Structure 1
Amino acid sequence: MRRRTLLKLLGAGAVAHPLMAGTAVRGRRKGGGALKKMVVIFLRGGNDALNTLVPVDAGQFGMYTSMRPTLAFTQPQLANITGSSFFAANPALQPIVNIANAGNLAFVHSVSYPGYDRSHFESESYYETSVPGNGLLDGWLNRYLQNTSGPGLVRGIAVGWNQPQSVLGPIPIPISTNFGNIAVADDTGAPGPLTTLLQDTYGLAPTPGNDSIYTTGTQIFDMIAGFANRDLGEYENLASLVHIENGAVYPNTSLGDRMMHVAQMMKDDAEFIGVELATLDHGGFDTHSQQISGGGPTDPAGQHFRILNDLAQSMAAFYTDMGPTRMNDICLMVVSEFGRQVEQNDSSGTDHGVGGMAIVMSNNISTPVSGNSWPGLSNILHGDSLNWNVDFRDIYWEVLSRHMGLDNTTLSTIIPGHTYTPVNFMV
């Protein structure tokens, strides 16, 4: 059946690019198996790594509590990580600590890069281009698509209201904000939500009974016309993907909603949309003041506790929703542009620092805590920040190599000018 229902998985915000660019010829399959997929969550603002992954070694913990008289946790408050006697996690992260304790999530500490920068703008740009200080404009996720091929109609998507630099480049990567809104007119002639939205926005009248919208000259209308002229009957099977599976419960938050819809897209197989990567933001981590609430660091109303718990609940729901079989082919990575200073400031917050951390969720994790040797709180950088010993590009490289199955030649194009040092959080 032609032009009956347009995909209900992309959102109304997918107007930044035409989706019909370039059909790929083969999937990115490691070892010829299932299509490998990747989700990247960027914690905007600079996550406080020291209050996310806390050193509980006796000497380190004493320094930690003296540096943070009101922000510090007590040891009984922390979430224990199986196999790690040196670190414990912020209790807000208990939902994903459970995944780590089952062997499917790694916390990577002491993360930064040479020539580190404490500017949000600069450091975010370096993380998103994978080239610190170089000034490249295209993003590393776009370069991934440029240098690989896949069977999907839409191989990558950015979920949210803004276009992150990581997706910029010659390969069109749409932005999606509101899943379920893209639908063109059905056989009754009733316009779909996106058609109505565009009509309201541009003052245009849709053609009754016709999915195509003509004479606009904009990319979004070209995109819809392109979809409408395809035989979309096979996509009707995708309606079943809106169902949350395995009893997963997403938090009633913006991040929870976006993660739920990323899960829908990741459930799609290669014959339909073929999304291989999704990226989304989680904000609020620039905690210069009032990082905790009146009840202390475990108060759910505290800023840092609240947004970390939102992250953990959303990730855990995604993991449950996808199920173990799908998770064999999916890796979720969490990064932030820098960490915070080791000492709390006078406003019950923390200022921009250096050493940060990353989180990787996958079914081929080798250890729950990784990151080479801990630099220590007696070896702080510039007298105020955690030092670092893991280059964030090594995390990207390891995921792209060991999970996505890319060779070193391809990786050198995606992450140019970098010599990989194994972190070994993945097998």
Structure 2
Amino acid sequence: MKPLKTLFLKDDALHQVHHHSGDDRRNFLVDTETGETVKSIDQANRIALDRMMRKAGSRDVKRRTLLAGGAGVLSLSSLMLTEAAAPRYAYGAEPLGDGTVLVMIYLRGGADGLSLVTPYNDDYYNSHRKSTRKTLGMTGTYKLNSTFMLAPEMAGLKSAWVAGDLSIVHSVGIDNNTRSHFTNYAMADRSAPVQYKTGWLARLLDVTADNRSQFRAFSHASRLAGAFYGADQDLLAINSFDDFKIRSNALDTATINGVANRVAKAVGGELGNTARHTLNGMSEVRALAAAGYTPANGANYGSSELGRSMRDIAQIIKANKGVQVVTVDHGDWDTHRGQRERLNGLARELGDALGAFYQDMGPVRMQKVVVMTVSEFGRTTIENASHGTDHGAGNFSFILSGKATGKIAGGAWSGLKNSQDKDNAIHTDYRSLAAEVMSKGLGVDAARIAQVLPGFTPQPVGVLN
């Protein structure tokens, strides 16, 4: 394992010291100016900020003036410090397949896939779902086959299904499902044995050539997706194109931007590179925002946060900024109580946003785009006493692309009833789906997929041609 990289200001004031014994808790930071142990990333950032401001010669500027929407100089430095605690792995660099863009949408909280793609003929489902049950007789439903239907709130995806550009996988899950939001996502993000500390998307970037684009890979969210952790380059987390800018209550924004740039120039090492990367990203995003954007083909993204995110992503893809991988968060799917009202709104946001993106991109561009949804687990087949559902197992995943097979994949549907628990059983490992997206979607060869998903033998899923 390579030694951890040293993080420093130009006065060499802050070092990372690594002691490896198989226990990551023994990694720590030392302030070499005082000799004291730094006990948290937040404390390290406070020290770094104080010295950055000293270097910039601008003690009068308030800390808030350097914070940006989504991820600015300081929030990105925090991210970089956190990721530097993970070992790096070096791989050979080759082009990222055929230039297709991967858009990963995380349905955080454990989405109830049974309320999005419903097995309407399943007797067990119909008898155990009372307030949350979806039926074929509801206005707006769309019958997919003799087993499944799209719920009314997912009507935005009907046209993609009819055109054969939507595949759906039932019973997808994480190996060794723990029913824990955090543990399941950590396992999905890593998609590798525990000794690997990097995310699978980070390893995907490592095995493919860096096109030097500012936006080669980024998270359209308030934080970087865990699957990017450990990437050998600085990555942006952009909560909104409109808000990705220096924030301040002061009137002289030109001066504030000038101070931010002086800070970037005064800081050395990886922290300085991160600051410069962030400021350059802000400049390009601000130019995109100022240029405005009119979706094509009459697409309407609506006013939801997910809709705005997908609109931004469509704009930057069309602007030919070299985007290869983007992640998006769509949260609040943890519906333990009052599921019907909460989930219906979330499902409508998802269906409408994906439908608008598909319409906006058009059939030609969709040949070079793969959208994949993932959630950490499904929900129980049986309702609880609070008219909600609890943490379950197997879930549904959507693959939206001009390369889609247009089928429901995952093998023969065995039904929800089983003798063990109240779960939709897991039949497709999430890593097999990721492998097929890389191979048939992005054109990555099997040898490099083996580096991205070490120790795993993917099985065919059937979502992409």
The alignment's TM-score, normalised by the length of structure 1, stands at: 0.79
Tell me if 1:306 matches 2:345: yes
Question: Deviation digits for residues 19-69 of structure 1, max 9, x if unmatched?
Answer: 9xxxx9874242xxxx21100001111111222221133xx2x32111112
Q: What code does the residue aligned with 2:129 have?
A: R
Distance 1:388 1:26, change over 3 A: closer
Out of 373, 376, 381, the position equivalent to 2:415 is 376
Q: Percent identity, please.
A: 28
Equivalent in the alignment of 2:96: 28
Question: Does the CA contact (< 8 Å) of 1:250 and 1:256 recur in 2?
Answer: yes
Return the alpha-carbon distance in structure 1 between the equivalents of residues 452 and 461 of structure 2.
18
Aligned length: 378
Distance, in Å, in 1 between the alignment partners of 2:378 and 2:369 is 26
Change (3 A) 1:314 1:201: farther
Counterpart for residue 117 of structure 2: 53
C-alpha distance after superposition, 1:225-269 (max 9, x if no partner): 569899x99x97997573322221112011111111111222232
Read off the aligned partner of 1:136 and give its amino acid letter.
Y
Is residue 41–residue 333 contact of structure 1 (8 Å, CA) maintained in 2? yes
Equivalent of 1:409 in 433, 447, 451: 447
Higher relative contact order (CA 8 A, sep 6+): 1
Match for residue 298 of structure 2?
Answer: 247
Opposite residue 166 of structure 1, the aligned amino acid is A
Question: CA separation in 1, counterparts of 2:279 and 2:379?
Answer: 49
1:175 maps onto 2:237 in alignment: yes
Q: 1:399 to 1:221 in 2, by over 3 A?
A: same
Give the Cα separation in 2 of the matches to 1:228 and 1:379: 54
| Matching of residue 280 in structure 1 with residue 318 in structure 2 | no
In the alignment, structure 1 segments of 5+ residues that lack a partner are 1-9, 183-192, 293-301
Q: Is residue 211–residue 225 contact of structure 1 (8 Å, CA) maintained in 2?
A: no
Contact 2:380–2:389 (Cα < 8 Å) also in 1:
yes
Task: Give the C-alpha shift of residue 115 in structure 1.
Answer: 1.7
User: How many Å apart are 1:368 and its aligned residue?
Assistant: 2.9
Are positions 1:100 and 2:168 aligned together?
no
C-alpha distance in structure 1 between counterparts of 2:252 and 2:226, whole Å: 26
Instruction: Rate the CA distance shift 1:229–1:280 in 2: closer, same or farther, 3 A.
Output: closer
Q: Alpha-carbon deviations, 1:348-370, whole Å to 9, x = none?
A: 00011111111110011113311
Shift of 1:159: 1.1
How far does the alpha carbon of each residue in 1:62-113 deviate from its partner, in whole angstroms, 9 at most, with x for none? 321111122212221162244x121112111010133112211111101113
2:379–2:393: 8 Å Cα contact kept in structure 1?
A: yes
Contact 1:332 1:361 in 2 (8 A): yes
- Asked if 1:260 is matched to 2:311, the reply is yes
Please report how far the alpha carbon of residue 150 of structure 1 lies from its aligned counterpart in structure 2 after TM superposition: 4.1
1:415 shift after superposition: 1.1
1:225-236 correspondence runs (5 A)? 225=276
In the superposition, relative to structure 1, how do residues 200 and 275 fare at CA in structure 2: closer, same or farther (>3 Å)?
Answer: farther
SS in 1 for 2:339: coil
Q: How does 1:115-194 map to 2 (within 5 A)?
A: 115-131=176-192, 134=194, 136-154=196-214, 155-171=216-232, 172-180=234-242, 193-194=245-246
Q: TM-score, normalised by structure 2?
A: 0.73
Mapping of 1:343-422 within 5 angstroms? 343-379=382-418, 382-422=420-460
Root-mean-square deviation over aligned CA pairs: 3.4
The residue aligned with 1:318 is 357
Whichever structure has more helix as a proportion of its residues is 2
Q: Is contact 1:241–1:264 with CA below 8 Å preserved after alignment?
A: no
What is the alpha-carbon distance in structure 2 between the residues aligned to residue 267 and residue 359 of structure 1? 23
Counterparts in 2 of 1:158 and 1:236: CA distance versus 1, 3 Å: closer
Instruction: State the alpha-carbon separation in 2 of the partners of residues 319 and 55 from structure 1.
Output: 25
Contact 1:375 1:388 in 2 (8 A): no
1:199 Cα offset (Å): 7.8
1:75-94 aligned within 5 A:
75-77=136-138, 79-82=141-144, 84-94=145-155
With over 3 angstroms needed to count, the CA separation of the structure-2 counterparts of 1:36 and 1:199, relative to structure 1, is: farther
* Cα distance per residue 1:176-228 (max 9 Å; x no partner): 1231456xxxxxxxxxx53x6498999975549x8996435697765565698
SS at 1:110 equivalent? strand
